[in-house]
Every structure is written in structure tokens, then in C-alpha cells.
Amino acid sequence: MDRRSFLAGSAAAVAASGFANAQGADEIRIGAPLPLTGPLAPEGRKQKRGYDLWAAEVMKRGGIEVGDKKRPVRIIYSDYQSATPRGVQACEFLANQEKVHFLFSPFGSGAAKAGSAIAERYKIPMLAATASSREVYDQGFKYLFGTFTPNETLTDPIADLVVATAPAVKKVAIFSRNDLLPLSLATALREGVKRHKLDLVFDEKFAIGALDFAAPLTQMRAAAADWIFVGGYINDLIQVRTQMRELGLKPQVLTMIAGPAYEEYIQALKGAAENVSSASWWHPAVRYEGEDIFGSTQNYVEAFKAAFNGDIPDYAEASASAVGAILQLALKKSGTTDGPAVRDALAAMNAKTFWGPVHFGPTGQIDSLNPPVFQIQNGKTVVLLPDEIKQGEFKLGIS
Amino acid sequence: MNSAILAQVLVNGLLLGGLYAAIAAGFSLVWGVLNVVNMLHGSAVVLGAYAAFFGWQLGINPFLAALAIGPAIGLLGWVVQRFIVQRVIAAPVLITLVLTFALDLVLNNAMLAAFTADYRKMGSVTGLPPLMIGTVSIPADRLIAAVLGIVATFLVHLYLTRSRLGRAIVAVRMDQETARLMGVKVEHIYALTFGIGLALAGVAGCLIGAVFPISPLNSGGYLGVAFVACVLGGLGSVVGAIVGGLVLGVVESLGSMLIGAEYGVTVAAVLLILMLLWRPQGLLGRAGYD
């Protein structure tokens, strides 16, 4: 290489790096710590698909409108391998090293609660796509906003439905992963059991990472529970359901949260998934018109199918897209990426979106949704509640 | 607790214990003969499980695959001992512990990188319904896995007691110097024993993979099981590992029933402490072995 071409090359490199820096300075950086490997990887990857879809839609439209210009968005992922302490480290790294403008929270209530302290410290608005437990939001934090309603909005309608349609159901067993969301679900259901004067015959926790459930399932069988409620994540729930079958445990009603909403649950269990009931914060059958980037639930479902080989989005994927869309609305409203200003826009939000009406309560938790109850019938999720989107009747018994 | 529940809990515990025995036997043998606390053992179990899983994806029954996977991981163990562990075999036990801990980090992280930490799960291997005896339900896959676990362990016991090389291994365990004077090539026996230990871990992995989900994150749990069952049964005693594994399985199962499902590991830890206080040589082991 002669001196002239070396100088020309160097000049081009400097110019290119300047261009890249200008691009970098303009872009909106969002940190997303996720469990992309480990036991929670199925859930983590769902969130990633939801975020990616939103970011792709944004970029298709030339960026996010902030003030008088459109700015590109970049999501910076950090895999915390399903270990909550590493999730907190990932939040710290994203805030401190990557200098992100905003954070999407780690997966689930426990990790979101742990990570939210970092967002609060750095005054970075954090949007939680998969955290429902009140304990996440009652910390007095100002920068945390979540798209899941409290857990009793899932358990109360199910309890009401079971009591109304299966009067023979009297004995209830609750079995929960020793983790924030499942424990919180159990607490909410316990209230429902008490309210309906049902008999709680089994109420136990299992350790995170437990693989063998034979002993507690034997107890449930001995207690002759009519309704078994299991709280956990998809791998736990698949394992519990498999071992229930091995031990011949067949309650009249089996409710599991939060796995049956996922297609992977149905695929892994095949026939054993039949008649398992559940509830989630969203379902593709809901019909909302929105002012967000997707415009309506139907548009969102179509965009998702187009992006992911015809897959139907579930609530975790939709919620992940929703937090992006909600952040986008807040940025448009505030006209700046300044953390406190965007935080104020989120706190004052009262918007219609494909996810449903969005209004955050004083703790930052959404208080404007009516979550659907559903059951797996013939290998598909069938909505049972609310009545306006009902697709079928509640069926008793499992195989 | 009525007798039907008790019978089911005992069956659950024994089925679990059969797998625990297979995990513990190799660990106990290596500790007893080489005086090496092999921290690599849990990851070797997981490696065996992955090999069985990938074989299952190709249509190979994991119970049959154990016949090939066990010796293959055993060969790996032989190489690791001969060329790495042997270099520090005369050093204090802490050094070999740190070395095998480092090897475990390498293997575990290699598996994390290669396979990710996701859970993999085989479907029903036999496709058979649970065996019902009265009200007691015995899942077919679990029953076969537990029985094969004990059979594999017992075969190693027979090898140690009936074969010339097996007697040499026992001789080295009892008195290394005298064994050397009798013409036993101690270095060769060390490598062979380490290989057999890891082969058993590989077989245990195949059996466990047929029943439980597989992830590199499980290796610590398997190492813990090996440790407790080994202390229960007695160091270096293969039959002790069977007894220790079965006792641990039953105690965990009963503890889970009586105290609470989330306390299974706690019950095992308490049992370990009590055993160390009451009978440090284990149920079938020899007192004061160091």
C-alpha cells in the first residue's frame, strides 16, 4: 500500500467512524437483560421476539418520533442465564457501561423487582413486560412501570368460574414454585378459596430447580384434591404435569399459571395438556383499537405472524411488544429522551393500545386491563372469560 | 399417613435412590481409592445425559446407549487422570480438589457454550403406562432407570471383587505401598479407577436423562447427591453407594412428605451432618480412611 492510498484509507476510516458516532449519538438505546439461556430461556426468548418485532416496526417507519425528528432505536440485550443475581448485574452493566436511555426489565416478578432498584438509582425509566406481583411495585419506586395487572386479576375469575361451573369441586391443592410470581399467585388464590368457602387440603412450595415432584404429588393424590393449582414457569409445569400422569393423579380441575398460554407447553405435553385451565394478561382473541404503532390487536397478530413464520403471539410476546409501543408513545408525548420527563409521561399515560387500555396506577402497575381465562381444548387455547371474547365452555376432568 | 401413601412414598424414594446410587458409586470409588474428591463428577453425569439425549434424537434408546456412552466417558476419565490428575496425585487432597474443580469449570462451561443452559427433555422412552400395584403407581421409565442404575453399580462391585484388576483396585485402596510391593502398577490402577468412576457417571447420566430434564446447571445438584450418598454409604464402598443412594432417596422422599416439598435438599444436608457426627465412616465404609 503506498502512502497516498494509506492516507485516503485513513481519511475514509475516520469519516466512517465519525458517521457511526453521529448515528450512535442519535440512536435511542434500550437495555434488555433477559434469561436467554437456562431454565427460563423459553420465556426469555419470547420477550426477545416481542421486543425485536417492535424495534423492527419502528425502524421500518424511520425511527421513534422524539420532538421534531425521528430517531433510530437499538435494543442492547444481556443474557443473565436465568440467574437473578446476574440479572441485576446485567441491569447495572447496561445502565453504567452501555449508558442506555431506558431499560426493559428482566423476566418475571422476582428478577424485575431486583433489577428495578438499578433503574431507580440511575433515574432510568424501566418498563416491566412480565412482572405482575404487587411486591414488585410496592417499593415506592418512581421509575418502574409494568403491563401486568396484579395476580388476583388472574386467580379471582378462575375461582369464580370453577365454583360456578363445578359445584362438586370442594377440595383445593395449591403447589407453587418458591419464587415471587408463583407465591404471589398462591396468596391470591388462597383468598379466593377462603371467599368461596372451599377446603384447602394441600398448600406447599417446591424449590427452584426441583426436578422430582413425586412426593408432593403423592400427597395431593392422598388428599383427593378436586382442583389442583400449580404456579411456576413452563419447565416446572411441564415436569409437574408429566409426573402427575405417571402417578395417575386426575383432579377434576387442573389450573397452571404461567405456562399453558405458550404453544411450547401444548407441544411438549400433547394430550396431557388437554383441559388444563389457565389465565393470562392478554390473548390474541382480544380486540382492541390503539393509537400505538401497531394500531390494533388484529394488526399486531398479523405483524407477528408475518415476522415469525405464522406463529401466533402469546401474552409474553405481546407484552414485550407493548412495552416498546408504550415507551414510544411516552417519548412522543414528552419530546425528549430525558429520563425524568419520560417517566412523567408514562405516569400520566391514558392511552389505547393493541395490548388494551393503558393507565398506570400510583405504584406504576397497570390498572386498566381485564385478563382472559382460557383452557386448552383439542390442542388449542380456548377463551372462557371475559364473556365478550368467549370461545367455548369450561370442561372438567384431565387425562 | 396411611399405609397406601407410605407405600407410594417409599416406592418414589427407592426409584429416586436407584439413580442416586448410580451417581454416587463412581464418586465414592474415586474418593476411596485415589483420595481425590472428584468435583468433575456432576458434570460427567450431565455429559452422559446429553450424549443419551442426542442419541435419543437419532432414535437410539438411552438405556442401550449407556453401554457405549459409559465406556466413552470412562475413557475420557482415564485420559484426564493419566495426563492431568496424576501430576498432583501425591499432593494434599485440597490440591486435587481444586484441580478437579477447575476441570469441572472447564467442562461445565464448555457444555453451557455448546448446548446452552436450556432444559432438554426426552419424551417417554418406553411409552409404557405406569405399573399399578394396588394404589401404588410405578412409572415404567423410572423403574427401568432405577433398576439399571443399581445393576450397573452392582456390576462394578462384582468387577472389584471377582476380577484380578478389581482386586488390585481394592488392594490399592487398602494399602497403596503394600500393593506396589506386590507388583501392582499403582498409577495404572489410579487411571483405571478414575475411568470406571466417570464411566459410572456417564451411565448414570443416560439413566437420569431418560427421566429428568437435562441442563449443565444440574451438575451441582448431582455432585451434592454423590457427596451425601457417598458419606452415607461409606467412602470407597460400591455397595455402600447403593445403600447410601437408596437411603438418601427414601429420606428425601419422606422428608419432602413430612416437612415440605421445598426442604428436600435441606433434609439431605441435615442427614449428611448427622451421619458425619454419628458414623463418619458411613453405613458400610471403613473408619478413619484418609
Task: For A98-129, give the secondary structure using H, E and C.
Answer: CCCCEEECCCHHHHHHHHHHHHHHHCCCEEEC
Within-domain flag for B283: no
Q: What is the pTM of this model?
A: 0.77
For residue B33, how far is the Cα from the chain centroid? Answer: 15
* Number of structural domains found in chain B: 1
- Burial tier of B94 (Cβ tally within 10 Å: 0-12, 13-18, 19+): exposed
Within-domain flag for B288: no
Give the cell for residue B137: 403407581
- Most distant CA atoms of chain B, gap in Å: 59
| Same domain flag for A163 and A195 | yes
pLDDT tens-digit series, residues A153-186: 999 999 999 999 999 999 999 999 998 889 989 9
* Number of structural domains found in chain A: 2
Chain A interface residues (partner B, CB cutoff 8 A):
37-39, 41-42, 81-82, 175, 178, 204-207, 209-216, 218-219, 221-222, 235, 238-239, 243, 246-248, 268
B263 → chain A, closest CA residue: A207
Compute the distance between CA of residue B203 and CA of residue A271 in angstroms, rounded to an integer. Answer: 31
| Same domain flag for A241 and A145 | no
Compute the average pLDDT of residues B72-98.
93
Compute the average pLDDT of residues B178-204.
93
Q: Do B213 and A213 touch (CB under 8 A)?
A: no
- For A267, the enclosing helix (H) or strand (E) is helix A263-269
| Same domain flag for A384 and A265 | yes
Within-domain flag for B2: no
- pLDDT range class, residue B286, cuts 50, 70, 90: low
For residue A182, how far is the Cα from the chain centroid? Answer: 14
Sequence-ordered list of residues with C-beta below 8 angstroms from that of A184, at least 6 positions apart, any chain: A109, A132, A133, A134, A135, A151
Q: Enumerate residue ranges in chain A where pLDDT < 70.
A: 1-25
Q: Does B171 have pLDDT greater than 50?
A: yes
Q: Return the bridge partners of A76, or none.
A: A31
Within-domain flag for A396: no
Nearest to B130 among A37, A222, A246 (CB): A246
Which pLDDT belongs to residue A17? 40
Which pLDDT belongs to residue A180? 80
pLDDT tens-digit series, residues B216-269: 989 999 999 999 998 888 877 888 889 999 999 999 888 888 888 778 778 878
Nearest to B137 among A175, A212, A246 (CB): A246
Nearest to B137 among A42, A238, A247 (CB): A247
Compute the distance between CA of residue B248 and CA of residue A278 in angstroms, rounded to an integer. Answer: 36
Within-domain flag for A399: no
Asked if A377 and A394 touch (Cβ cutoff 8 Å), the reply is: no
Domain, as residue range, for A201: 152-280+372-389
Per the listing, cell 434500550 goes with A30
Which pLDDT belongs to residue B288? 36
Asked if A351 and A328 touch (Cβ cutoff 8 Å), the reply is: no
Neighbours of B178 (CB within 10 A): 11
CATH assignment at residue A176: 3.40.50.2300
Neighbours of A135 (CB within 10 A): 18
CATH assignment at residue B195: 1.10.3470
Helix/strand/coil percent split, chain B, to 5? 75, 5, 20
List CB contacts (< 8 A) between A212 and chain B.
Answer: 12, 16, 212, 264
Nearest to B12 among A39, A215, A238 (CB): A215
Task: ipTM value, please give it.
Answer: 0.76
| Same domain flag for A336 and A276 | no
Within-domain flag for B83: yes
Interface test with B, best of A37, A178, A264, A270 (most B CBs within 10 A): A37
Within-domain flag for A179: yes
Compute the distance between CA of residue B241 and CA of residue B245 in angstroms, rounded to an integer. Answer: 6
Q: Which of A5-19, A184-198, B9-23, B124-138 has the lowest mean pLDDT?
A: A5-19
* Residue A37 to chain B, least CA–CA distance (Å): 5
Instruction: Provide φ and ψ at A3, rounded to 5°.
Output: -65, -40
Which pLDDT belongs to residue A25? 63
| Same domain flag for A262 and A236 | yes
Asked if B242 and B233 touch (Cβ cutoff 8 Å), the reply is: yes
Domain, as residue range, for B109: 7-278
Compute the distance between CA of residue B236 and CA of residue B223 in angstroms, rounded to an integer. Answer: 16
| Same domain flag for A258 and A382 | yes
List CB contacts (< 8 A) between B13 and chain A.
Answer: 215
Instruction: Provide φ and ψ at A190, rounded to 5°.
Output: -55, -40
Which pLDDT belongs to residue A107? 93
